[in-house]
Amino acid sequence: MNFTEYEGKRVVVTGVSSGIGEATARALIDLGAEVHGVSRRKPEGLDLAGFDSVDLGDPEAIRAAYGNRDEHVDALFNCAGLAPMFPPMDVLKVNFLGTRLLTELVATNMTDGGAVVSTSSDGGAAWRKRVPLLTEFLNVESFEDGAAWYEQNEEVAGHAYAFGKEALDLWTMQQSAALIQRGIRINATTPGSVRTPMLDVIEKTYPKELSAATEQPIGRASTAEEQVPPLLFLNSSEASYINGADLVVDGGYGALLSSAGHLFNA
């Protein structure tokens, strides 16, 4: 599987300034794709076809960048994210509300054969246990009202990082039934511990034992580059019958917890 089909395809990648987003954009450029990047700062050394400096925590910036575009998009890779230690509202806005808004706008320029994949996290894997609460949140359609909902319900919703990733997972499942009516597939991946600048910040903030635990049973963190092939696969025609899936790419950490009854079971 060499993904040569991406040659000449117009794709949008968020979070291109570092980590998984940068690695994904670089791989797509090498494959000959027309890559349009989205992040707060422009990365160096990437031959992007286009770049928009957008803070996904700012709905007006998202609308200004993508609200009136009519260029066809073949695939969207949502790789942007904030680490857990940032202010909770900022985390929720970037990791879910901004990602949802951008996806909705980009998807208007997709046609049959289009695909979306979002990078979630093991931190959101318990979404199956919280469907009623998450559904209430997801039924709040606008960015601004969603932020207000979380502000009012933060105590029951819990940590913004986990809650935002849970929301992203369930929203992906819900959207898979709607977007496929237009021939557009949407999926997610669930990385575990990934050696990126975000992990470096996490390890400086929290005890290293916490991140080390998420590296089990494989015994190490993933590289950003190891997360790229699953993303490329899900947005390719090789995955033409995969829709509404959450592909776990965590070296077995989720399986370890699930088999012990601690995670994915409802």
189-238 pLDDT, tens digit each = 999 888 776 666 666 665 666 667 788 899 998 999 999 999 999 999 99
123-142 pLDDT, tens digit each = 999 999 999 999 999 999 99
In 3D space, the residue among 18, 30, 40, 141 whose CA is nearest the CA of residue 90 turns out to be: 40
Which SS3 state, helix, strand or coil, does residue 242 take?
coil
Predicted local distance difference test score (pLDDT) of residue 265: 44
CB 91 within 8 A of CB 151: no
Distance CA 164, CA 250 (A): 19
168-181 pLDDT, tens digit each = 999 999 999 999 99
Looking at the annotation, which residues are catalytic? 161
Distance CA 212, CA 203 (A): 9
CA-based angle 148:151:156, to the nearest 5? Answer: 125
pTM of the shown model: 0.94
Per-residue confidence at 262, pLDDT binned at 50, 70, 90? low
